[in-house]
Chains A and B, each alone.
Chain A
């Protein structure tokens, strides 16, 4: 008897471990998201503190325009002298800073890129608020003249350059590519490294010559306080002598402002990751509910005995919940540990795409631990509550009965609650679609969750046809073994359905994403097909703007009829940042077929603006209205001259002329060039000419229409790959759920397995039986998931039709593959339970109690 008890305990340990594992994975996702974003935040804050001086002087609101487009405003050099003369200033240093300068490695590859900026500035010995120097020359000499540079250690290392080597650079200035000699290596003042950003140090006059037409100007000035002078005192003093449009701010305030801005961006990454953590947790909840339900059912006789011996309902309830508490606690603690590993993985992953966090710590903050534990414990307890309540309802007399039936809620009740939830969910989604921004998204998400839970509740009923259909197939293909498998999966519909529902949730999201992805790709194709007349497009591989010189050079290539430059920036309208494009309307007219809703492209001049139909709708613009657009240098009053359709070839919210944007204070940087060739020459001829212009500049690439479409689709694919990978964890948890359910079912049916073996079922047939049951569960989950995913996908595509996803595409083949892969996953999930069933000793199994 002790042997049996011990065996039960071990078996239960494994079962509990499996459900604890679901908690581990879910909590790991939560903890990993926090740890990773904290690490990112720490690294960025380090950089911000390490580069901010006691008092920072810059054009007004400089930070507001830094995220998008290059602010072209400068400060005259004489201001530095004025500031240096202030009694509170120990030091004043003018800085020339330019973004978009990239180092090309010895292998002609771009260093960094794809996110982290390529920074260029002049060397000075300013001290940051951290008390350390912002820059220190480590080795070699400082650069002098136009043809020398210094690099930071990491960049030089990645590019493979030694002091004395010729370095190739890409710049957004007059020389799109240039060569310079590497004279020294500098060290950046912050601890956490540069997060993948590259640092190129030039001679001050060289920078001014390249980017500011040789004017003796600075982009910012750093002040160091004299002893006993506070940041604020020096700031106040500085503001009195500064020219109009230039302001001084305390270093602390600047650092805080920048940290907040970074924090907001990182909060987005965190939220994004946490959404997937949430999905995993929901799936894990199903697994825990199921495990505890089965455990309680298997122990029902024992629990009934306890009740018969005088244990109260509460005590039984509490006994089950205590078990859950222990599982939840262990799972959560382990989850935090695994989350740390996950964060290391994320760090490596982000490192691979250029966000180098090599030097950054992975901090486990108290908040991370608290949130992880609370989430893990709450989910486990919530999930165990229903089974525990049911356990307490077992009648004491059940102890005397042969077979103990668990009290179950009626199917009818489930159907009513389930369909109610589905209805509420759909309503919430509809409201969410109509609503705007974050609130709309949350409502849509909550609605989806409602539908998913509702369908899960109903799935014992709605899933039955799937199993029965599959069963008919099984009978034909596998005979009696198939019938047994089908009957086993119908035996406890709730259990099968709950197990399948976990997979259903994962598959719903996967199918949804695949439909959105396919629709987005098809929409891209269609937009390019319908509206792009330019044969060739030049764009930047890392989505960084490039020098307008390139457009000039291409114009002179033989066979090029016109080059339409397209720029983008983020000025403000009515206090919020908007997405504005700029172009030459005449050239664009030959590059794009732009079916205007109102007005025409030709009406666009330097005092006019075109708006997208969405923008017109949300802001209530009509032709003739005035739009006050706040650029870095000035606010321009522009007249609405036309409305173009949203989601077409023109993806910005507003369109102005190149001159309007430049006058407003943005440095001239192109982000796209549409090239139309003369009909007399072939595409390949023109290509050859343009390729010669672009040679040596790996950041700027030339594409024809198809390649351009492919590049955009490639980006969609990359995003999809990331989302699939993140959803993968939810699928893994769901698969664990199948393993768990099957293992428990096999234990429950020991006697029957023994009988089957006694009358001549071979081990192989037994394994097949378990496998087929597993496949039935997996396919049920996949089919329900794909059906819901298709419904959600079509709904979302309709809702996003005016956001650029205007063509619906349902990738049926891919969806079928998802179902097939799920079936395969079912086979894998069955491996261990099937082995266990086959290994059962026949004699022991048939004599077991």
Chain B
């Protein structure tokens, strides 16, 4: 595949730049008769500066999709591009550096290194690369997440919501090309969850950050620009400018279809 066809980020102004793209992505687990396809030929673009939610029932492949896109897992077939970088064929070292320099992460839990302070955790991806954060940007991020007075605290001295806010700051401070968030509010009460989703939203609106978030929660999905629904390893639907209610409605429809499909198949 030639470079020009795979570099849509610099295409015409008419089309929005693509921050990440998957093409015909397949991922199999197991072998022989027991083989299971977690991803069954997904193709999807994630536009730069957009906040996208990936939703779907358990086993729909949404986590696998994110792991493959985030250079944490390798695909069985198909391609993943981050910007114009094709992931297939990269070694562990290159993938590691890619994660460090181009990707931000927010996990559901265990986001922080317990022995480091909040500030050290935030600076971690930069400091292991031997870089210093841009002080102005660092201040902006810290103020956005509102953690300035907690920078010297260790994770065990912070509440769950505060820990997730530190994790968001860490994901944003290196100005990654894309941030992947895996159920970032899954362990939080609704107020803390709303705070965290608020920053993610703001970082997209104010700083054109691209964010892909895997979630179960229609309310969380309501913060995004676009919701992609997965089932059985393929994209089954999508929603633009979603509201929580619209997402919930769509989920009901999809699960009804799934039940009908299973019944028809049986």
Interface residues of A (CB under 8 A from B): 479-481, 483-484, 487-488, 490-491, 751-752, 755-763, 765, 842-843, 846
C-alpha gap A637/B95 in the complex (Å): 93
Find B96's partner among A484, A487, A751, A761 (CB 8 Å cutoff).
Answer: A761
Find A762's partner among B67, B93, B127 (CB 8 Å cutoff).
Answer: B93
Most chain B CB within 10 A, of A491, A755, A757, A760, is at: A760
Given A484-B116, A843-B67, A843-B73, the answer on whether A759 and B124 have CB atoms closer than 8 Å is yes
Contacts of A751 in B (CB 8 A): 110
Q: Are B115 and A480 in contact (CB under 8 A)?
A: no
10 contacts between A and B (CB under 8 A): A480-B123, A480-B127, A487-B116, A490-B115, A491-B114, A755-B113, A756-B124, A758-B72, A842-B72, A843-B67
C-alpha gap A756/B105 in the complex (Å): 11
User: Could you mark each residue 111-147 of chain B with 1 if its beta carbon is under 8 Å from any beta carbon of chain A, else 0?
Assistant: 1111110001001110111100000000000000000
Contacts of A481 in B (CB 8 A): 128
Q: Are A763 and B96 in contact (CB under 8 A)?
A: yes
Given A763-B96, A843-B67, the answer on whether A755 and B111 have CB atoms closer than 8 Å is yes
B100 at the interface (CB under 8 A from A): yes
Find B99's partner among A480, A483, A758, A763 (CB 8 Å cutoff).
Answer: A758
Q: Are A762 and B97 in contact (CB under 8 A)?
A: yes
Q: Are B113 and A752 in contact (CB under 8 A)?
A: yes
Find A760's partner among B99, B110, B115, B120 (CB 8 Å cutoff).
Answer: B99
Interface residues of B (CB under 8 A from A): 67, 70, 72-73, 92-93, 96-97, 99-101, 105, 107, 110-116, 120, 123-125, 127-130, 170
Which 5 residue pairs of A and B lie closest in terms of their CB atoms, listed nearest first?
A760-B100, A487-B115, A480-B127, A760-B99, A762-B96
Contacts of B93 in A (CB 8 A): 762-763
Given A480-B120, A763-B92, the answer on whether A846 and B110 have CB atoms closer than 8 Å is yes
C-alpha gap A274/B25 in the complex (Å): 67
Chain B proximity of A745: nearest CB distance (Å): 12
Q: Are A480 and B105 in contact (CB under 8 A)?
A: no
Contacts of B100 in A (CB 8 A): 759-762
Chain A proximity of B62: nearest CB distance (Å): 14
Chain B proximity of A495: nearest CB distance (Å): 14
Find B130's partner among A479, A758, A842 (CB 8 Å cutoff).
Answer: A479
Given contacts A480-B120, A761-B128, 14 further A-B contacts (CB under 8 A): A480-B124, A480-B127, A483-B120, A484-B113, A488-B115, A751-B110, A752-B110, A752-B113, A755-B111, A759-B125, A760-B96, A760-B97, A761-B96, A846-B107
C-alpha gap A757/B72 in the complex (Å): 9
Q: Are B115 and A491 in contact (CB under 8 A)?
A: yes
Given A751-B110, A752-B110, A846-B110, the answer on whether A760 and B116 have CB atoms closer than 8 Å is no
Contacts of B120 in A (CB 8 A): 480, 483
Find B113's partner among A479, A490, A756, A842 (CB 8 Å cutoff).
Answer: A756
Contacts of A760 in B (CB 8 A): 96-97, 99-101, 125, 128-129
Q: Are B128 and A483 in contact (CB under 8 A)?
A: no
Most chain B CB within 10 A, of A752, A756, A762, A763, is at: A762
Q: Considering only CB atoms, which chain B residue lies closest to A848 in the complex? A: B110
Q: Considering only CB atoms, which chain B residue lies closest to A487 in the complex? A: B115
Q: Are A765 and B128 in contact (CB under 8 A)?
A: yes
Q: Are B110 and A755 in contact (CB under 8 A)?
A: yes
C-alpha gap A487/B67 in the complex (Å): 29
Contacts of B67 in A (CB 8 A): 843
Q: Considering only CB atoms, which chain A residue lies closest to B182 in the complex? A: A846
C-alpha gap A678/B99 in the complex (Å): 86
Given A479-B127, A843-B72, the answer on whether A757 and B96 have CB atoms closer than 8 Å is yes
C-alpha gap A429/B59 in the complex (Å): 70
C-alpha gap A759/B115 in the complex (Å): 16
Most chain B CB within 10 A, of A490, A761, A763, is at: A761
Q: Are A758 and B105 in contact (CB under 8 A)?
A: yes
C-alpha gap A842/B100 in the complex (Å): 14
Chain B proximity of A490: nearest CB distance (Å): 8
Chain A proximity of B165: nearest CB distance (Å): 16
Q: Are B114 and A752 in contact (CB under 8 A)?
A: yes
Contacts of B123 in A (CB 8 A): 480
Contacts of A483 in B (CB 8 A): 116, 120
Contacts of A842 in B (CB 8 A): 72
C-alpha gap A480/B110 in the complex (Å): 19
Chain A proximity of B211: nearest CB distance (Å): 16
C-alpha gap A246/B108 in the complex (Å): 98
Contacts of A759 in B (CB 8 A): 99-100, 105, 124-125, 128, 170
Contacts of B114 in A (CB 8 A): 491, 752
Given A760-B128, A762-B96, the answer on whether A484 and B107 have CB atoms closer than 8 Å is no
C-alpha gap A446/B184 in the complex (Å): 59
Chain A proximity of B217: nearest CB distance (Å): 20
Contacts of A488 in B (CB 8 A): 115
Q: Are B107 and A755 in contact (CB under 8 A)?
A: yes
Contacts of B113 in A (CB 8 A): 484, 752, 755-756
C-alpha gap A756/B170 in the complex (Å): 12
C-alpha gap A765/B128 in the complex (Å): 8
C-alpha gap A816/B124 in the complex (Å): 35
Most chain A CB within 10 A, of B97, B116, B124, is at: B124
C-alpha gap A485/B97 in the complex (Å): 21
Contacts of A491 in B (CB 8 A): 114-115
C-alpha gap A846/B182 in the complex (Å): 12
Most chain A CB within 10 A, of B92, B113, B127, B129, is at: B113
Contacts of A758 in B (CB 8 A): 70, 72, 99, 105, 107
C-alpha gap A752/B116 in the complex (Å): 12
Chain A proximity of B132: nearest CB distance (Å): 11
C-alpha gap A765/B99 in the complex (Å): 14
Q: Considering only CB atoms, which chain B residue lies closest to A757 in the complex? A: B96
Contacts of B128 in A (CB 8 A): 479-481, 759-762, 765
Most chain A CB within 10 A, of B96, B110, B123, is at: B96
Contacts of B170 in A (CB 8 A): 759
C-alpha gap A847/B48 in the complex (Å): 28
Chain B proximity of A753: nearest CB distance (Å): 10
Contacts of A843 in B (CB 8 A): 67, 72-73
Contacts of A490 in B (CB 8 A): 115
C-alpha gap A762/B115 in the complex (Å): 19
Contacts of A484 in B (CB 8 A): 113, 115-116
Contacts of B105 in A (CB 8 A): 758-759
Chain B proximity of A392: nearest CB distance (Å): 27
C-alpha gap A491/B114 in the complex (Å): 9
C-alpha gap A763/B91 in the complex (Å): 12
C-alpha gap A171/B116 in the complex (Å): 77
C-alpha gap A142/B155 in the complex (Å): 92
Q: Considering only CB atoms, which chain A residue lies closest to B112 in the complex? A: A755
Contacts of B110 in A (CB 8 A): 751-752, 755, 846
Contacts of B72 in A (CB 8 A): 758, 842-843, 846
C-alpha gap A483/B124 in the complex (Å): 11
Chain A proximity of B119: nearest CB distance (Å): 12
Most chain A CB within 10 A, of B99, B112, B120, B123, is at: B99
C-alpha gap A760/B123 in the complex (Å): 12
Contacts of A761 in B (CB 8 A): 96, 100, 128
Most chain A CB within 10 A, of B67, B72, B107, B114, is at: B72
Contacts of B112 in A (CB 8 A): 755
C-alpha gap A217/B67 in the complex (Å): 100
C-alpha gap A269/B101 in the complex (Å): 64
C-alpha gap A491/B116 in the complex (Å): 11
Chain B proximity of A608: nearest CB distance (Å): 76
Q: Considering only CB atoms, which chain A residue lies closest to B156 in the complex? A: A403
C-alpha gap A846/B109 in the complex (Å): 10
Contacts of B116 in A (CB 8 A): 483-484, 487
Q: Considering only CB atoms, which chain B residue lies closest to A751 in the complex? A: B110
Chain A proximity of B258: nearest CB distance (Å): 25
Contacts of B115 in A (CB 8 A): 484, 487-488, 490-491
C-alpha gap A488/B113 in the complex (Å): 10
C-alpha gap A756/B96 in the complex (Å): 10
Contacts of B127 in A (CB 8 A): 479-480
